[in-house]
Chains A and B, each alone.
Chain A
């Protein structure tokens, strides 16, 4: 059997081959850097590429290995990070002009963990500005393109990460997902993406392995729970006989769902039942409120989170202002793009005196109802199956003029995040036009193992190309 080209190897294959000295980290890294060099001008999946740094990291890995030591499970394997994660000494922009010159003096926990596991950092992936968007078109550094069709968007906000993984410009990426920002682009780019801790990979096993590396307690995050990390990788190949798959009826009603997507998700279901899973119908009655709830809570929190970007300590600062108030307001006017400004204004309004209860307070109450919906559903089903995104990738510019239509891209991914439960998107078919479609699987809290088993079963049932045909 002919050896697959390097960029098509899975994360696990690449790691094994480095470990077994079939290839050096230097060669592996050089091959991917060369591919980025050649393809990324078309895809624009990276904001920052680090050729020298990656090469010297790879060389250091090889030297250590020659001395008999391996850093961790990702030893010598090149990966990328969404440009939302702070990386010490490496430009971290969040896709925004306001941070176009920001070099953090510290590493985010994920950056630290991935490095400690031995991974080589190729660069930072493009994203919607401050993760606000569903198409990576709001990035200050220009939109990323979908490697399956360069006239189309890769989804967002982790669109750069999904595009880079899909195009073979890294073995894995780490993104973030507060409303669907990983699963939606994963679906649109034909890769696997998970909301918990952010793995974006080309296979379910890779996602399980990467989550195993980056999951775990972070004492610097008070909202993080200190529970043991199970063996996700083993779960990914576990049989699904007897697994109760719930179909939330609300996700399949209404006009927004494309027939291609519906058909593909039905095939995923058939794949699961073909392996012995059973189907139960469940209801998530508050689903229709999820989008508006999310678009109150998220902008409210964002308006407050983004207030620190005021030009006082770092990042962009407006020139020639007289006085600190003018400096701050001009810095923010120049530094933020339209979508960020829109959400800052929505959020500021939702939190303002006299409106708090009607908007933010009410949204938090609805959120509780949505959480209860899921509790009820999981009393009947082990895992829920839904479409990830209502349609395959749309064209660049198609929805930028209509924010509300754009927000609908996340309609299936948002409820799960409001409930705080894990969700994964796994490729389950191609549209008539040859565009990838993803199926979303949701499980109860701390039931990621069930999720990986189900996703693994869908992957085994539906074989799809591993890498996007970007080279034409």
Chain B
């Protein structure tokens, strides 16, 4: 029997705000334990939450970029459960009435485009974390770091439209690129600002009913998500093929062992006793604000790839690399504007110097100058590379360095004449052979001229001069 997998993904993305979702504490990663806390986010008696407008703005922009319908009225609810890193013993989250509903995302797998539905986007606060002394083995105490408490998150829930691990990976990458483009999330999986849980079930191909699903947690890289999905799908198919039943449960991905392991069964599931948080009024998102935010949505990655490829005549693959970062694509376009002559070379250069460009260490003019000088034959490819490196070292302008370092190519025939004459005079045997029909020796003469000019001669011009003189 042939099986197919049914996969839905729940992404938790940390919103890029200065402060937390319900208080003024910094939401930055990496502060000393409990350094970013106050009575509100540590759930002290008598305190009240106040919603961060910037967080709502981030979530609304995400909703607009994924074609979701932004709800005019949404409601924050309390999800009640006891856990030592949850100071209020409830998490404020949106439940019945979330911020946005019914959107979609187009992903590409194997050259084909698939549309994946988005069920909902809602906002919530993060919990803190527990640090176990000695991390489990012989742990004597557990310490709570509440810095992450009330860090703003948005949860993006997909429809169970994904069928393969590759599709899952593509969905996540596409989604992350969009969030990073929107500047609503930094997309950092290692620091936990972009996290993913997966719901996975399998069923015989052709069957409409869904199989029993398992929830996968703890996958902290794209690669791990794909590996975990692969493993879990295989595991479930094997169970079904052996005549067994898949248990509804939560499973953790153990990246070291490459397996998923059971964490808790459905029977132990919590009753979260959701109800609207009486401390927060319903969130009303005015239509005018949504319209205003619509205008702030930048060109998104997929559209950017298509436009770059069409407008500059560069391969889609190159356009894809450039568009993987909004800053890199912007840099490419600025460099191309400064020198429109050879977009393909400009694109190659941008990809080559990607790290330096993203670190903000290169100006678009530098690449424009490097490409235009090369196209004009003023410098060689080797010299161009050397010069860009010098720009990075010294921060001085490309063309100043070029002139100072004497890396300008000798393209002037009159200046090359003397060198060519000298080379011809010093190699009478080779000259004879060449004239006798050994055309392949031309590159030998070019080499000699290059050597004599200490690399400065323009090889194209040298060839022409040599041909003329040897004839």
Residues on A lying within 8 angstroms of B by beta carbon are 84-86, 92, 94, 99, 102, 104-106, 108, 219-223, 300-301, 303-304, 307-308, 310, 312-314, 324-325, 328, 348, 351-353, 356, 360
Contact = CB atoms under 8 A, between A and B. Distances in A.
A457 to B, nearest CB: 35
A102 B145 CA distance: 21
Given A300-B275, A312-B84, A348-B273, A222 B44 contact: no
Contacts of A353: 271, 273
Interface stretch (B85-93, B235-243, B295-303): B85-93
Contacts of B42: 313
A324 B46 contact: no
Interface stretch (B48-56, B98-106, B255-263): B48-56
**3 nearest A-B pairs in the assembled complex, by CB-CB distance:** A307-B89, A351-B273, A308-B43
A220 B49 CA distance: 7
Nearest to B48: A221
Contact of A85 (B46, B49, B271): B46
B455 to A, nearest CB: 69
Contacts of B244: none
Contact of A106 (B39, B80, B90, B281): B39
B275 A360 contact: yes
Nearest to B80: A304
Interface residues of B, number: 30
A308 B40 CA distance: 12
A328 B82 contact: yes
Given A104-B46, A304-B80, 19 more contacts: A94-B45, A106-B39, A108-B46, A221-B50, A222-B51, A222-B281, A303-B80, A304-B89, A307-B80, A307-B90, A308-B45, A308-B87, A308-B88, A310-B89, A312-B87, A324-B84, A328-B82, A356-B273, A356-B275
A324 B142 CA distance: 10
Nearest to B42: A313
Contact of B39 (A85, A105, A221, A325): A105
A134 B274 CA distance: 29
Nearest to A108: B46
22 contacts: A86-B45, A94-B45, A99-B45, A104-B46, A220-B50, A221-B279, A222-B280, A222-B281, A223-B279, A300-B275, A301-B278, A303-B273, A304-B89, A304-B275, A307-B88, A308-B87, A310-B89, A312-B84, A313-B87, A314-B44, A324-B84, A356-B273
Interface in B63-98: 78, 80, 82, 84, 87-90
Given A85-B46, A352-B273, A360-B275, A304 B78 contact: yes
B45 A222 contact: no
Interface string B424-457: 0000000000000000000000000000000000
B401 interface: no
A300 B77 CA distance: 13
A94 to B, nearest CB: 7
B290 interface: no
